[in-house]
Amino acid sequence: MNLALWAVAGLMAVVCLIGSSKMFVPKEKLAASGGAATRWVEDFDPGALKAIGAVELLAATGLILPAALDVAPVLVPVTATGLVLLFAGALTVRLRRGERATIAGDLIYLALALFLAWGRFGPEPFTG
């Protein structure tokens, strides 16, 4: 179970690290880069996109570094819980925009974040 949770944390960290590019890529380029999957950025101003990117960068570090460095490892499930909220918000945006065809990725990431939060708060915490 511990290995599975580390694998999910690593995968989610990579996803968040890629998502943090919102901080640097212009809104127009983001909207054009992924077809229908990235049209949601049209509803947000550039500042909000940069903030979402910053949250994803913090999440990428919060999923790995606290446990790897053994400094406040409780931050890993707290970060995973924050990701649950982030992806619940992403699902809400997609549903409001009627983008049901592109919702699968967000559902998968939401499920992985839930699994990670449950696993690290419950059966496999870092503290003994």
pLDDT of 1-29, one tens digit each?
A: 999 999 999 999 999 999 999 999 999 89
Q: Please, what is the end-to-end C-alpha distance for the chain in angstroms?
A: 15
d(CA 107, CA 100): 11
CA 119 to chain centre: 17
Confidence at residue 8, expressed as pLDDT on a 0 to 100 scale: 97
Count of alpha carbons within 13 angstroms of residue 95, beta-carbon side: 8
Q: Which of 3-12, 49-58, 92-101 shows the lowest per-residue confidence on average (mean pLDDT)?
A: 92-101
